[in-house]
Structure 1
Amino acid sequence: MTERSEGSKGTAADRGNLRPPDAPVLGPRPVYRPHVDTHTARAFRRPTGLSGSFAEPLPRSSAQAASQDVQNRPPDAVLAEAFGRPAGSTELLQRDPDAADDTAPAAGPVDPWRDPTSAARLGAPAVPTPKSEPLPQAQRLSAREVLFGSRVAPKALALLAVVALAIGVLGGLVGRLTAEQASTLTSRKVTLEQAADPEQPHSQIAKVANAVLPAVVSIRVTVGENGATGSGVVIDGAGYIATNNHVVSMAAQDKTNKAAIQVQFSDGTRVPANIVGRDPKSDLAVLKVDVKNLTVAKLGKSNDVQVGDEVLAIGSPLGLSKTVTSGIVSALHRPVKLQGEGSDTNAVIDAVQTDASINPGNSGGALVDMEGRLIGINTAIRSETGGSVGLGFAIPVDRATEVAQTLIRDGKIHHPTLGVSLRSKVVANEQMSGAEVADVAPGGPAARAGIVEKDVIVKVGDREVTGPDELVVAVQSRRIGETVNVVLIRDGRQVDVSVTLESD
């Protein structure tokens, strides 16, 4: 054996073997063969003595294999005579339709069926086509021939015309007689008279409506392409109008200087208005217009209002100005929470409840008694469908007067506060219910009075508290700096504390 030099390339086997000489050699991987039970092996095994295919091989010799190859032999004489060309003929089945020589074959490179690049060609028709000849001139038909096909004689046509004329004359006579008969049912001599009794007195509702309507206005607020409508009440001859905060809050919050407020009076006069002041916590606002000789609403007193009193709601519901609806006072001191999308109103009012129909657009309008005195500012409805269902709420006139007077004087108003946060749900047991304190403001009136978290407030002054909304209106009915007795339940025991209310 000869030794290779260090630079020799070696054999192909050596060049392909890239394993290091000291690499470990692994043993063969074991082949896993699943176990085959005896019944399966007996059912699917080959018959005894058979080692290959189930079909037995057919023995044949090389001579037999050669004799079984396909042989090209001449066709039968009968087929050759039926389908072959005549003896000595070179004519093909295809012919060139444009060739001068009819015997020239069309097969080969010029065959349009075999050459994909050949152009389409049309040959002469198989049957000669006769030349078209002009149609003979048609004979003109008369009206009688067209209508009756020459089957009606001229005399019959004349008789038919006479009958048609007679029918027309008879129809005209009948129409004339019918018209004359009908004319006897109408008359120009009859004049209907309407009875008027100037001494007949109108109802009290009509008198009150006529007196109050000039003091109620329609308010339209626009900011760009957006708009809202509401109502208002003239409360002072200098041009001051009371309405709801949520009616004008869209204009008050506008930062683009595109807001406009327009007031329309009952006589159709329209004038611009400006916001004097507004109070989101009581949902009241005051507008100012530059108009003289205004009709001012007569202000009543909340203490004179009783459940069952007849009242009128006057405003512009659904944009329909000068609308009057009637009803009664159905409840007093009804706490109603007010919050609306697109408005910064966040108030709880001590409402006058009425069943007079109130709808969107009545907001800011007047609720008056049968003496024409303003007893409330219509503010809200409660409905599952959004329409009037006989549950309307108005801000009491005492509260509206107090807030409006302060806004006219100062342009803003402050409210008394207890300095606590309340849980939203009512806390109740078999004996009483109240408002549970969730948090106490550090250093606030409640904290200084010793009120702590989880205390349940059941009374403020002489007003019972049955829930969080009731507590809000009970506190707001007091004055800033007033000391009020608060009754609360702490660990099952009743505790009385004195709280001095502060400004918010």
Structure 2
Amino acid sequence: MSQQSPNGQTSTPVSGVDDGAHRRLRPRPLVQPPVDPAYATAFGRPDGVPGAFASRDVPVSQLQSAPPPPESLVTAFGRQGSQELLQRPPQPTSDPDPDIDPVFWGDKPAGDPWRDPASGAVIGPPAVGEEPPGEPERKPGPGPQLSVPELLFGRRVKPTALAMLLTVALVLGAVGGLVGWLIGRAGNPLTDSTVTLAEVSPGKERPAGSISDIAKRVTPSVVSIEFKGANVAGVGSGVVIDAGGYILTNDHVVAPAAQDSSAKLSAVFTDGTRAQARVVGRDPKTDLAVIKVEVTNPTVLQFGNSDELQVGDGVIAIGSPLQLSNTVTEGIVSALHRPVTAAGENGGPQVTYDAIQTDAAINPGNSGGALVDSRGALIGINSSIRTETGGSVGLGFAISGNQARKISQELIRSGQVKHADMNINVKSVSAETSEGAQVQNVPAGGAAAAAGIQEGDVITKVGNRMVRNAAELVVAVREHEIGETVQVVLARQGRELKLDVTLKSD
């Protein structure tokens, strides 16, 4: 179709692009770069195939294959010893399955659902075929196992080579050990592995009367006393003083158990034997008590004469300090006739006794234990310590053995003890020229009132014992018997008087 221009001329339209000035341009020539022959060989269409899909009647032989690869690539990546290629040419197809429709149309749906989108979904048989009937199921057996050479070296090794390898390893190990031993000996000239220290064949000499000998004989007679109740518990010590099972101890050791009905009291011997104990008698004024256990043939500790002691004599303390049973400490007699006063248990009467002072270590738990002399005789019952730190500082006190023997015998016989008393109240006083116990009160009907002692008198001596304070007056009077008449020296208004006082019971 022609068009008429504005000037009346006709022109034939030309296919092209408008350049913006209403002028038509011719199409640009199609640029087709040259094709690499190698690419054309690899990706080009076979001969006789004009389009993207080849017809079925094109023989396979007409397909072109790629040029042979270079020699270097064949050597590096090709199969060694085989001429078979990884990329095999397609094989001719077998006869088609008659059950599959060759076309997309027909009287029935196509057998292959991938060829007929309108066909129904069909679940085919399993990929693995079924075992023939009658044959048992076969289980795969274990594969071949690797030998030791294969496991260690990855391939088989001759036995002779393996034996030689082991021999070489042993020789090298032996040589290395010998070299190390020689270097070790040469590295430290101060050591010598051939030295054997000599041993003395005779045993240690322990003469009779040594600390070890005394401890061996005395320890079995010292027991640990334990009490445990609903509200109380504690550990102390005690001494077996009679074959009937009587044990002497401190009153403050058994007082909590005696005052608490739920508490159980028991004695533990050095061999581990534990026996239930019962309280025989108590004397709170002297801090002594006796308990009894049912045992057979116990080791008994014999009393010594504490009046024969002198300052400096060796003594041994045995007990259970800090719950450490069978503890032995050694010391000397630091002082004799040291009056000791302590508060009574739970508001009870004041405790006062004539004590032996010792520097043998005594700690809580030693109370009620034995203080023995160099012969192993009982000369005191460990009772208290004096300290400002709470621990032992070398000031321990034991009730004298003679007093303990007297009181324990009375407790075993009658269950109670009565002491001699002057029936007066005193306090300690000290003047420039003298010191003693000043009388504060003289109850009527007492021994002091009957002897004529008056309030304000200062007692300085009872019998043969000097009195320097109130505690010493108590222990001096208790050294005598009830009903005994004793001479008392006192000071009254600057004059010294001597009066005979017949002591009465407390």
Deviation string, structure 1 residues 38-61 (Cα, Å, up to 9, x no partner): xxxxxxxxxxxxxxxxxxxxxxxx
Secondary structure of the 1:318 match is: helix
Q: In the alignment, which of 299, 303, 312 is matched to residue 307 of structure 2? A: 303
Q: In the alignment, which of 419, 424, 428 is matched to residue 420 of structure 1? A: 424
Question: Are residue 411 (structure 1) and residue 415 (structure 2) matched?
Answer: yes
Which residue pairs with 2:105 in the alignment? none
Which residue pairs with 1:288 in the alignment? 292
Q: 1:188 to 1:264 in 2, by over 3 A?
A: farther
**Is the 2:206–2:212 contact (alpha carbons within 8 Å) kept by the matching residues of 1?**
no
Which residue pairs with 1:232 in the alignment? 238
Which residue pairs with 2:225 in the alignment? 219
Question: Are residue 450 (structure 1) and residue 468 (structure 2) matched?
Answer: no
Question: Are residue 268 (structure 1) and residue 272 (structure 2) matched?
Answer: yes
Letter in 1 for 2:180: Q
Letter in 1 for 2:467: V
Q: What is the alpha-carbon distance in structure 2 between the residues aligned to residue 179 and residue 217 of structure 1?
A: 61
Secondary structure of the 2:241 match is: strand
Deviation string, structure 1 residues 358-378 (Cα, Å, up to 9, x no partner): 111100000001111111001
Q: What is the alpha-carbon distance in structure 2 between the residues aligned to residue 258 and residue 436 of structure 1?
A: 44
CA RMSD of aligned residues (A): 2.5
Secondary structure of the 2:212 match is: helix
Which residue pairs with 2:205 in the alignment? 200
**Is the 2:221–2:239 contact (alpha carbons within 8 Å) kept by the matching residues of 1?**
yes
Q: What is the alpha-carbon distance in structure 2 between the residues aligned to residue 217 and residue 420 of structure 1?
A: 39
Question: Are residue 250 (structure 1) and residue 256 (structure 2) matched?
Answer: yes
Deviation string, structure 1 residues 186-216 (Cα, Å, up to 9, x no partner): 9999987754413733571111111100011
Which residue pairs with 1:89 in the alignment? none
Which residue pairs with 1:95 in the alignment? none
Question: Are residue 439 (structure 1) and residue 441 (structure 2) matched?
Answer: yes
Letter in 2 for 1:354: T
Q: In the alignment, which of 470, 473, 481 is matched to residue 471 of structure 1? A: 473
Q: What is the alpha-carbon distance in structure 2 between the residues aligned to residue 200 and residue 448 of structure 1?
A: 63
Q: 1:182 to 1:250 in 2, by over 3 A?
A: farther
Letter in 1 for 2:360: A
**Is the 1:223–1:250 contact (alpha carbons within 8 Å) kept by the matching residues of 2?**
no
Secondary structure of the 1:294 match is: coil
Q: 1:341 to 1:404 in 2, by over 3 A?
A: closer
**Is the 2:232–2:257 contact (alpha carbons within 8 Å) kept by the matching residues of 1?**
no
Which residue pairs with 1:388 in the alignment? 392
Letter in 2 for 1:308: G
Which residue pairs with 2:113 in the alignment? none
**Is the 2:423–2:447 contact (alpha carbons within 8 Å) kept by the matching residues of 1?**
yes
Shift of 1:297: 0.5
Larger radius of gyration: 2
Q: In the alignment, which of 469, 485, 490 is matched to residue 488 of structure 1? A: 490
Shift of 1:430: 2.5
Which residue pairs with 1:91 in the alignment? none
Shift of 1:344: 3.7
Shift of 1:349: 0.9
Q: What is the alpha-carbon distance in structure 2 between the residues aligned to residue 179 and residue 322 of structure 1?
A: 54
Shift of 1:340: 5.5
Aligned counterparts, 1:73-472, within 5 A: 181=180, 194-198=199-203, 200-201=205-206, 204-254=210-260, 257-339=261-343, 342=346, 344=348, 346-423=350-427, 426-472=428-474
Which residue pairs with 1:30 in the alignment? none
Shift of 1:485: 1.2
The number of equivalent residue pairs is 327
Which residue pairs with 2:83 in the alignment? none
Q: What is the alpha-carbon distance in structure 2 between the residues aligned to residue 270 and residue 410 of structure 1?
A: 27
Q: What is the alpha-carbon distance in structure 1 between the residues aligned to residue 226 and residue 194 of structure 2?
A: 51
**Is the 1:276–1:411 contact (alpha carbons within 8 Å) kept by the matching residues of 2?**
yes
Secondary structure of the 1:298 match is: coil
Q: What is the alpha-carbon distance in structure 1 between the residues aligned to residue 291 and residue 347 of structure 2?
A: 17
